[in-house]
Chains A and B, each alone.
Chain A
Amino acid sequence: MNDATKEMEPTQKLKFYQKGTFTVGNRLVSEADRTVQASIDRSNAITCGHRGCQGCGEALGARYVVDAAMRATNNNLIVVNATGCLEVFTTPYPETSWQVAWVHSLFGNAAAVGTGVAAAMRVKGRSEVRILAQGGDGGSTDIGFGCLSGMFERNDDVLYVCYDNEGYMNTGVQRSSATPPAARTATTDAVGDEPGNVFGTGKSVPKIAMAHGIPYVAIASVADLHDLERKVTKAMGFHGARYIHVQVPCPLGWGSASHDTIRLARLAVESGVFPIFEAEYGVITGSRKIRNRVPVVEYLKLQKRYAHLFKNGDAPRLERLQKLADRNIAEFNLLAHEGNV
């Protein structure tokens, strides 16, 4: 029924099985295969001077997403932004970083505002204009979830991108429904019988999005920006509701070094903590295989939000986290078995 066994279509035809890094420099690939960001024609939709933190995964992810969407739509793009870090750090009044038609309304309504903009474009005969709505995990999986589900269910012609940094980072690192188990946040302190976020909570919005039967759902990571661009481009090839969920590490909220953002994103993928897959019309069409599997602790130990697990040597909880990753690996068939690639 689902095809998680299939490897997602490769973004680069080269195979560089270098140990230690998967970063293939653009200079090594043909011009056609290079990223949008590598092009001098990139739209720079989020231009420099914004107030994002050093090492911000969301700034990076959004930059790739919006520029790729701009290219895919021949710059006929309107961006709707939910309240959150991305909105705050890009528009310190009276300045703006956005070199794209951009509108922000509220925290929980970006998907619905996107619906409205799309309707206006349709009624005005502007079929060339496409809509990108975006928000953080709080604005998407929690407070904006009703509007998001409504937009999916109506199959409105909107691409919604959720930048998932696993908590309310803009307001002081509080728990969201995307916060992983055991993670310490301001509202799930590392004290008491079950320090950090409670096991068995949270939800998979990509899976819920799939349950709406919408044309396209994808999970991506800033660890593989080439893949992220490909997914945005692919999403723009569909009409109707589309959803891309991008993991974007947050040095502030995760308590990690700003130079470790990409490293953490990659460890999340390579450990199975954050499975990368895509689906069309509710059916998984492929998953990204783990090339160099690492134990979950490698990912966890770089983040202060999990420090309590190591300080007291909390073996049972570390074991549970490893099991969750193992479950992802099994569910989405993340290991590249022979004959599967």
Chain B
Amino acid sequence: MLKQVEGSISTAEAIGLCRPEVICAYPITPQTHIVEGLGRMVRTGEVKNCEFINVESEFGALSACIGSSAAGARTYTATSSQGLLFMAEAVYNASGMGLPIVMTLGTRAIGAPINIWNDHSDAMSMRDAGWLQMFAETNQESVDLHIQAFRLAEAVSMPIMVCVDGFILTHAVERVDVPTQAEVDAFLPPYDPVQVVDPKEPISIGAMVGPDAFTEVKYLQNYKLDLALKLIPELAREFKKKFDRDSGGLLRTYRTEDADMVVVAMGSVNGTIKDVIDEMRADGFSIGLVTLVSYRPFPAEELRKALSGCKQTVVVDRSFAIGMGGQLAADVDHALRNVDRAPQALSVIAGLGGRPVSRASLRGIFRKAKTEPWEGMHFLDLNQKIVATEVEHMSSKRRSGPIAENLLRRVSVAPVAE
């Protein structure tokens, strides 16, 4: 049904339609309305045959999910930011144990300094944890990805994180088509686990594995994500057939044919970039976009295909590895390794900690990429003046302590000092 609804609520409704059996999440640090919505739906009976567990922490939340999934229940949780870090140990554990838990990550920054706003730092912090990670561009795609996520996770018996931009999508009210129960049932059969902890057939799960088999276990974990790489496009095709919507898949291209410059990005920023591309194309600027949906597994081959023929790539990262660079940029570089006449690779770090990513700034940086390409990271809309002042001060005096507070001191005393 087509409705005008908050992203968190439409996502919660989609999860409810997936008939989860156990939902366990910690409601803060920080959270969206998804879990609150689901809690209400379980209480009112809108979501039937489901246990909703309130827990004391994110670590407890995912741990309870591990228990319920190991016991064969379709299991769901949600978190973001600090919460994901607090459950980090269990994040790795869930994938190591091959448990098909579905998690919504309302992506947000990680402190310090404390910041509750959107970027992709949290998702990136767990990019090597063995989970599948898919990024929604719109709230419609969030709905659609969650429905696909349960199928996908259960097919390869691996957990999946559906990354939905915190605030920008989760708190936006927009038009979403929420499918009917019958439609979802036709796409998503009940969970039929192969191996569960059950007194009827007692097995031991989670034993210690030594050097003799650890490599093989990890190899096979990776193999499962390779399987997912094949399955994701198949599921997206089946989804399109049943729901008549292009949602999910490994990646999508937008006006990349004959484009000299191709932008690569994940999540909601793609919408703004598309508007910028239309404007720039109208001005005769040859530019296109690759929207990466599946970040883990990383679709290197498809990306190579999508980028073949362009002269430049500009990767717009919503986070970066400090001391290294944009994570997506590094992965795109990796995909282009050993490619003949690989495009020139440029990296933009944008929208950290909720800084708006505006059309004007994107337009400017794409133009600059053509005329004055740079090495390393370009921080979009960086306040050069404040940074330069602090850098200069650091060069004259050893600085210690929290950067944010040092910066504040500089900012506040700057006029006097100058």
Which A residues are within 8 Å of any B CB, using their own CB?
Answer: 75-78, 80-81, 87-88, 91-94, 96, 98-106, 108-109, 112-124, 129, 146-147, 149-150, 153-154
Contacts and interface: CB of A to CB of B under 8 A. Distances in A.
Given A99-B202, A103-B197, A120-B21, A80 B67 contact: yes
13 contacts: A76-B199, A78-B198, A78-B199, A87-B208, A103-B70, A106-B90, A112-B67, A114-B67, A116-B71, A121-B71, A123-B22, A123-B73, A154-B53
A120 B72 CA distance: 7
A106 B93 contact: yes
Interface string B205-242: 11111101100000000000000000000000000000
B60 A146 contact: yes
Contacts of A116: 22, 24, 53, 63-71, 75
A128 to B, nearest CB: 9
A99 B201 CA distance: 10
Interface in B312-361: none
Contact of B67 (A92, A102, A103, A108): A103
Nearest to B56: A150
A103 B206 contact: yes
Given A93-B210, A105-B90, A146-B60, A123 B199 contact: no
Interface in B49-80: 49-51, 53-57, 59-61, 63-73, 75
A199 B13 CA distance: 55
Interface residues of B, number: 45
B185 interface: no
B89 interface: yes
Given A93-B209, A119-B53, A124-B21, A112 B203 contact: no
Nearest to A116: B67
A119 B64 contact: yes
Contacts, number: 163
Contacts of B51: 119-120, 122-123
B204 interface: yes
A121 B57 CA distance: 22
B203 to A, nearest CB: 7
Name A's interface SS.
mixed
A242 to B, nearest CB: 17
Given A104-B206, A105-B63, A129-B199, A117 B54 contact: no
Contacts of A118: 67
Interface string B183-208: 00000000000000111011111111
B72 A124 contact: yes
A120 B73 contact: yes
B63 A112 contact: yes
A116 B23 CA distance: 9
B411 interface: no
B203 A101 contact: yes
B207 A124 contact: no
B71 A105 contact: no
